[in-house]
Structure 1
Amino acid sequence: MFHPQHTVLDNVLANGEAEGYQLSRVTNVMGCLTTLDQQAWDLLLVPACLDDGSEAADIIALVRRQGYDGPIAVLSELPHATQVSQALQVGATDYLLIPFGHTHLGQLVQRIMQTNQSCDSVVAEAPQSKQLLQLAQRVAQTDASVLINGESGTGKEILARFIHNASPRAQSPFVAINCAAIPETMIESILFGHAKGAFTGASSAQPGKLEIANGGTLLLDEIAELPLALQTKLLRVLQEKEVERLGSHQKINLDIRVLAATNQNLEKAVAEGRFRADLYYRLNVFPLCCASLRDRTEDIIPLAKHLLKRHMALGQAATHFTDSAKRALKAYSWPGNVRELENIIQRALVMSHGCLIRAQDLMLPGQPLVTESEVSMPEELLAMDATSMANTTTTTMPVEHEPLNVTVDSEKASNKRPSLHKSRKLAEFNTIIETLRRFNGHRSKTAEELGVSTRALRYKLQTMREQGMDVEQILTNQSADFSANNYNFS
């Protein structure tokens, strides 16, 4: 949506059509909402301030509530920096300064496309996580050095790769070196490379990490662990933009983007004399901070689902977290952050039974086993089948920890008080079994006949097995009776 008072926008619109962009201009908020509702748009341009006093942040909140989830850029003049900042905080993707030309618009579109591609491996639902990615996206378009700070396991290298992938250097090398994991006697050779015969055992010339990263991005992880002597040499290389291999006097020109990461307070290290002040200021051009997982709880469940999908075996049936597992994940303090979460998810996959991960499968340190009288169907399946099960019997999932006891004792069953819940469950199980028999066990046809997805059908069959039913044996026994007199649900 373009601000009506700037005629320069007419030229951008005309040039955009010539360049292959489909651009549309509206002059008020209602027109914007109507246009968004009529057609899918890849980018929304919003003025920082409207004539009626509305600001970009208000419009962004409005279109988000309506359902638009695409990128939004703010059009602003220099005096409106405050409005731009507020818009970025509530979800704006980028901004353009007025006046601007079609070239600037093209650069914005390319920047957003690169960011969307690099976001595929990044999970950000918490407001501070979204804001961090927005800042990272902005700095990615420059060659400014970035210092990433955060506790161990918060995803500092993930953020560094995001910056590289969203930058013009995305097609060039990304080289990461952990300064704390390399012996001090080897780190100089690994960083700068060496010539043949430079030291005992140097039987051939080898390029260093700086040289390998030429044209691309170099990440210096755990930069605080770099020895003082090497800090001096690294500073000189960054200043002169050239490097010499050990044992050689030939200078190699460098064109690299340097990112650094640490879990320590470098300002304190500078004050204590453990880190050079001039190197610190060289690296800390644009500081970014990865928040701990306990401070961004909105990210925990999306991250858990992302990691679950990553570590599931090929061909494994879709697996979901129970509500109790989700509550346990959100209640835990995560001292090891995302790295600990990934370990927990891998362990839960080993411990789980069927297609559900329960709270006890997580085996979280210091947390008791969660017991519940009932557990509802995971949200993914509940939402998927809310309407599709309208023509079949509704159900509540059984006790999570105690399997359902099924006995063939009609006399005992007759003494039990009637239960509407059990009768409904029995009727649903009976319908599933009879439909499976009709289609000779064919899952897809059965799901289609029942009006549910194949994934939901697998979930229900797994639930039946977990209650002690031998589904395969029942299917082969055509005379099996699912009447309430034959089964006792306790």
Structure 2
Amino acid sequence: MVPRILVAEDEEIMRITVIDHLRDQGWLVDAAATGTEAVEKLGSNRYDLVLSDIRMPGLDGEQLLERIKNQAPRTEVVMMTAYGSSDNAVACLKKGAADYILKPFDLDDLSLRISRLLEMQAVKARCVSLEHCCGSRRPIIGSSPAMQKMLRMISQVAAVDSTVLLQGESGTGKELVAAAIHYESRRAEKPYVRLNCAAIPSGLMESELFGHEKGAFTGADKTAVGKFELADQGTILLDEIGDMPLDLQVKLLRVLQEREVERVGGKAPLPVDVRVICATAKNLEEEVRKGNFRRDLFYRLQVIPLEIPPLRERGDDILELAEFFLEEFGRERGLTFELSSEARSALESYQFPGNVRELRNILERVSVLAPAPRIQLWDLPPEIRDTQSDAVEYACDTLAEAVAAAERKCIQRALVKTAGNKTESAALLGISRKNLWEKMKLYGL
């Protein structure tokens, strides 16, 4: 997005000269001839930087600076001052001005200073984004038809600014989809801020979302910027939106409609330009019928609804995901993990009620506890092993096959009980170690 600058200067020739020069640099520039006019423009527009003379009719530079820092703390302010008034400039720096420049000044020097401040502002925005989305920007793995369709939808949705509602079971990767939409959009270089509505007490959520003014409530010893202001020009993810209290749903609806927020204890609304993505594991239509969610907000959020498919509908992706996670855990431990054919079959047969999150947690546990880098069937949790054993049993058509399946299952259980120790397993089964080895080879164990 092109940076927007406000030039507050009462001297007409100086104002026009500076504005023309800044516009030649490719920036969007607005003008204000008085401090009062500057405040009015700040109330209706969002500026990346304000360039203001220290001595202005209506409001002087210091008063204007205080207004800016109160209304838009992230807006940079550069003060212009004549010779002999540098003390005032120093006072402005102490109050939050980013820089000051003495009149008369070189226009190229002014452009250089502004460029550096805008670059620093972009770095700060990226830091905010990294702080809030650390760990969420991971690749979306999956070549199944369901995931390929989802990836195409992400590309389509990222091209517009419409509100998106992500719905799906817990653990399906809604946060990854939200991050992918942001980083494929035109807002990719702007902040990406996340807020889990279920993790914050209802009494604190309004302040978290919209910020608060100093003295707004007990303990509010300074002005705090809310998540919507932090996400200005970027994207905000409201995770578990179905858990948002009804009274805040009304205020969120107003933010979506008016594109402005009002801090707790604030006296005036602040304009924001934020793309909103919401995610929930709940059925919001059902929550609307129960009276737990506002119908008008539901319709406002569901401009573009996306349903994230559960892992059981992405069978082709299970092994692809498993290999990705095992490679990740292997890098951390300096090992190369692989799955045996039985372990692969068992993973493919399991339904994964916890979806991708469950798969990842299982493989992390197995990578730590397995006695060898080659992961065997008995290294997997019982609920996954049993699925594979049942599959073998039900596949038997003849008595010989049934006997072989039972013998195979018996050997697997012995190996599980002894953590893969063949000598102990043979003793438990009442056969020799050589006989056990031959049967393991026969059954592919």
Q: TM-score w.r.t. structure 1 length?
A: 0.51
Measure the CA separation in 1 of the matches of 2:226 and 2:142. 34
Secondary structure of 1:314 counterpart: helix
> Within the alignment, does 1:353 sit opposite 2:340 as a pair?
no
Candidates 258, 268, 282, aligned match of 2:286: 268
Distance 1:355 1:319 in 2: 5
Closer, same or farther in 2 for the Cα pair 1:219/1:119, shift >3 Å?
A: closer
Contact map agreement 2:210 2:225 (CA 8 A) in 1: yes
1:210 matched to 2:228? The reply is yes
Preserved contact between residue 347 and residue 362 of structure 1 (Cα < 8 Å): no
Shift of residue 120, structure 1, vs aligned partner:
6.6
Q: Distance in 1 between matches of 2:421 and 2:265?
A: 71
Amino acid aligned to 2:197: C
Where do residues 27-426 of structure 1 align in structure 2 (5 Å cutoff)? 121-314=139-332, 316-365=334-383, 367-368=385-386
| Deviation for aligned residue 1:310 | 2.2
- Alpha-carbon deviation of 1:246? 0.6
Aligned mates of 1:203, 1:351 — CA distance in 2: 49
Q: How far apart are the structure 1 equivalents of 2:365 and 2:268? A: 51
Deviation of 1:317 (Å): 2.2
Which deviations, in whole Å up to 9, do the C-alpha atoms of 1:293-347 show, x marking residues without a partner? 1111111111111122222353512111111111111111111111111110111
Q: Report the CA distance shift for 1:245/1:119 in structure 2 as closer, same or farther (over 3 A).
A: closer
In structure 2, relative to structure 1, the CA distance for the partners of 1:186 and 1:127 (3 Å cut) is: same
Deviation by residue 1:107-141 (Cα, 9 ceiling, x = unmatched) = xxxxxxxxxxx997110211011101101110101
The alpha carbon displacement at 1:368 in A equals: 3.5
Residues in 2 aligned to 1:344 and 1:227: alpha-carbon distance in whole angstroms: 34
Contact 1:300 1:329 in 2 (8 A): yes
Amino acid at match of 2:337: T
- Structure 1 pair 223/342, CA: closer, same or farther in 2 (3 Å)? same
How far apart are the structure 1 equivalents of 2:138 and 2:253? 34
Task: Provide structure 2 residue ranges, at least 5 long, that are not aligned to the other structure.
Answer: 1-135, 390-410, 424-433
Please say if residues 169 and 281 of structure 2, whose CA atoms lie closer than 8 Å, have aligned partners that are also in contact. Answer: yes
Taking a change above 3 Å as real, the CA distance of residues 241 and 157 of structure 1, as seen in their structure-2 partners, is: same
User: Is contact 1:344-1:364 (8 Å) kept?
Assistant: no
Q: What is the distance in 1 between the residues matched to 2:185 and 2:367?
A: 36
**d(CA) in 2 for partners of 1:404 and 1:260?**
52
What CA deviation, in whole Å up to 9, does each residue of 1:329-373 have, x standing for no partner? 1111111111111110111011212321112212143634978xx
Task: Tell me which amino acid in the other structure corresponds to 1:191.
Answer: L
Deviates more, 1:248-257 or 1:183-192: 248-257
Structure 2 counterpart SS, 1:309: helix
Q: Say if 1:201 and 1:357 are closer, same or farther in 2 by CA, change over 3 A.
A: same
For residues 323 and 366 of structure 1, do their structure 2 counterparts lie closer, same or farther at Cα, with a shift above 3 Å needed? closer
Tell me: higher relative CO, structure 1 or 2? Use CA pairs within 8 A at least 6 residues apart.
2
1:285 positional shift? 0.6
1:205 maps to a residue whose letter is T
Q: Distance in 1 between matches of 2:141 and 2:294?
A: 34
Amino acid at match of 1:335: P
Instruction: Report the alpha carbon displacement of residue 251 of structure 1 after superposing the two structures with TM.
Output: 2.4
For 1:158 and 1:180, how far apart are their aligned partners in 2? Answer: 18
Q: Deviations over 1:235-278 (max 9, x none)?
A: 00111111111111132211111001111111122222221111
Cα distance 1:364–1:209, how it changes in 2: closer, same or farther (>3 A)?
Answer: farther
Q: Is the contact between residue 219 and residue 260 of structure 1 (CA under 8 Å) also seen in structure 2?
A: yes
In the alignment, residue 174 of structure 2 is paired with which amino acid?
Answer: K
Give distance in 1, aligned partners of 2:306 and 2:234. 20
Tell me how far apart the structure 1 counterparts of residues 299 and 329 of structure 2 sit (CA, whole Å). 40
- Cα separation, partners in 2 of 1:368 and 1:273, compared to 1, 3 Å: closer
Counterpart of 1:121 in 2: which secondary structure? coil
What residue is the counterpart of 2:114 in the other structure? none
Q: Aligned pair in 2 of structure 1 residues 194, 305: CA closer, same or farther (>3 Å)?
A: same
Give the structure-2-normalised TM-score: 0.56
**Paired residues, number:** 268
CA contact under 8 A between 1:360 and 1:370: conserved in structure 2? no
Rounded to whole Å, the distance in 2 between the matches of 1:326 and 1:199 is 57
Distance 1:234 1:370, change over 3 A: closer
Q: What root-mean-square deviation, in Å, do the aligned CA atoms of Structure 1 and Structure 2 show? A: 2.8
